Structure 1
């Protein structure tokens, strides 16, 4: 493990945690489409953190598909396969939660509701918890610690 890889893993994990907090805030505010997108982003960034940590090649880091990221990371961390359904749930929100043309008609803000947003937040939380569990198991507790902000 190089310091550079660990540093990138930390940056991506911390942003994932922040995005999940923002997703929860948006659920409370009724911005369910935004909460779904931020949940997808939280899951994606947590998995990218792990891919940086294990030294994945650049191609694996370019995707936005959580299913692809879990499939890749599970080659080294088989326990991640148990989160493939959460990854599928979050992948559903990457485009349609943001763009009207990602839906057959209407607007993302009118299409997404509380139940969908809650489900997305829960899926992202499980993925973040799985990644955090891997770091704890590896003794990398400092990756999980929020940075001192000035």
Structure 2
């Protein structure tokens, strides 16, 4: 991809991350906490993929933490800027599978496990990652 095309792609991913966060907030406000957690994870993942595209790289995973860690091999400056968000990234990774599938939890459903505190912390983590990703994407373009 050309640099211009990558910035355009980065902006598309960032916009989608922001839309996912907005949807997560609606779910949170309606006490649908597992789904708010999952969409927070999706928002963080997509925001970091925007950074990867802005760095002219192709992201191919769903782990938010791996997307941060693997930047060390792509761009040390980007990695240094995102490294403080590793805890937030790790938190979001915990919401990828078990918030959606009952077989990811022993004898429980996601609605029985994920609560307002989980969703609030997930939304906070996603906001931090989106904010940093927006800043880095804007600097690249």
Q: Provide the residue aligned with 1:33 in structure 2.
A: 34
| Aligned with residue 89 of structure 2, among 87, 90, 96 | 87
Tell me how far apart the structure 1 counterparts of residues 60 and 81 of structure 2 sit (CA, whole Å). 22
Instruction: Note the aligned Cα RMSD (angstroms).
Output: 1.3
- Structure 1 stretches of 5 or more lacking a match? 141-150
How far does the alpha carbon of each residue in 1:68-115 deviate from its partner, in whole angstroms, 9 at most, with x for none? Answer: 100122434111100000000000000000000111121112211101
How far does the alpha carbon of each residue in 1:6-26 deviate from its partner, in whole angstroms, 9 at most, with x for none? Answer: 111011000000000011110
Tell me how far apart the structure 2 counterparts of residues 105 and 124 of structure 1 sit (CA, whole Å). 28
Q: Provide the residue aligned with 1:148 in structure 2.
A: none
How far does the alpha carbon of each residue in 1:16-73 deviate from its partner, in whole angstroms, 9 at most, with x for none? Answer: 00000011110000100000000000000000011011011x4xx1110111100122
Tell me how far apart the structure 2 counterparts of residues 35 and 76 of structure 1 sit (CA, whole Å). 31
Note the C-alpha offset of 1:134: 1.7
How many residue pairs are counted as aligned between the two chains? 136
Scaled by the length of structure 1, the TM-score of the pair is 0.86
- Structure 2 stretches of 5 or more lacking a match? none
Q: How does 1:1-150 map to 2 (within 5 A)?
A: 2-56=3-57, 58=58, 61-74=59-72, 75-77=76-78, 78-136=80-138, 138=139, 140=141
Tell me how far apart the structure 2 counterparts of residues 76 and 102 of structure 1 sit (CA, whole Å). 36
Tell me how far apart the structure 2 counterparts of residues 28 and 53 of structure 1 sit (CA, whole Å). 33
Scaled by the length of structure 2, the TM-score of the pair is 0.91
